[in-house]
């Protein structure tokens, strides 16, 4: 069972996909270079296939980035909600946020939270505006893995 620390959610909101942006810009530069070579060439068909291939790669990369943007936006929203939730619990329990860990990547009913060395089940109301902590006991405490990233 994995438990995610407060720092994990803070780091999630700041992730960047720099490598994908570099590849995308490189493909655009390559397309520009091939188009310029095509205009300078006497054979008009010489670079046509390469232009089509690079253009398809750009469209593919753009589609991937739009999809990852949507998924990333959802993940950042879930991380933001979890950070606020953990801040609220840390205030109520008078603990530092770094002492908390949860077993879910988003706020939901019946998730588990670890405060110090004690585990609690969180029971949420229907609209997730209030919760109740109930102490619970894990059968396999030695299989708990902390994810801090």
CA atoms within 13 A on the CB side of 138: 19
* Spans of the chain below 70 pLDDT: 13-17
Confirm whether pTM is higher than 0.95: no
The model's pLDDT over 74-112, given as tens digits with 9 standing for 90+, comes to 888 888 888 899 999 999 889 888 889 999 888 888 899
Q: CB neighbours (10 Å) of residue 98?
A: 13
DSSP letters, the chain, are: -EEEEHHHHHHHTT---HHHHHHHHHHHHHHHHHHHHHHH-S-TTTTHHHHHHHHHHHHHHHHHHHHHHHHHHHHHHHHHHHHHHHHHHHHHHT--GGGEEES-SS--TTEEEEETTEEEEEEE-TTSS-EEEEEE--S-GGG-EEE--
Q: CB neighbours (10 Å) of residue 62?
A: 13
**pLDDT (0 to 100) of residue 19:** 76
**pLDDT (0 to 100) of residue 134:** 92
Residue partners of 30: CB distance under 8 A and separation at least 6: 54
* 131 in Cβ contact with 92 (< 8 Å): no
């Amino acid at each position: 069972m994995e438990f995610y620390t407060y720092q994990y959610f803070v780091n999630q909101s700041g992730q960047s996909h720099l490598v994908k942006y570099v590849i995308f810009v490189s493909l655009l530069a390559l397309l520009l270079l091939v188009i310029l070579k095509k205009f300078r060439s006497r054979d008009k068909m010489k670079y046509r296939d390469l232009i089509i291939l690079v253009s398809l790669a750009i469209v593919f990369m753009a589609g991937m980035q739009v999809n990852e943007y949507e998924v990333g936006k959802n993940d950042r929203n879930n991380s933001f909600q979890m950070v606020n939730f953990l801040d609220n619990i840390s205030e109520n329990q008078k603990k530092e946020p770094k002492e908390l860990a949860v077993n879910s990547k988003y706020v939901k009913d019946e998730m588990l939270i670890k405060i110090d060395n004690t585990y609690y089940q969180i029971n949420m109301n229907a609209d997730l505006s209030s919760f109740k902590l109930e102490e619970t006991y894990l059968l396999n405490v030695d299989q708990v893995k902390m994810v801090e990233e």
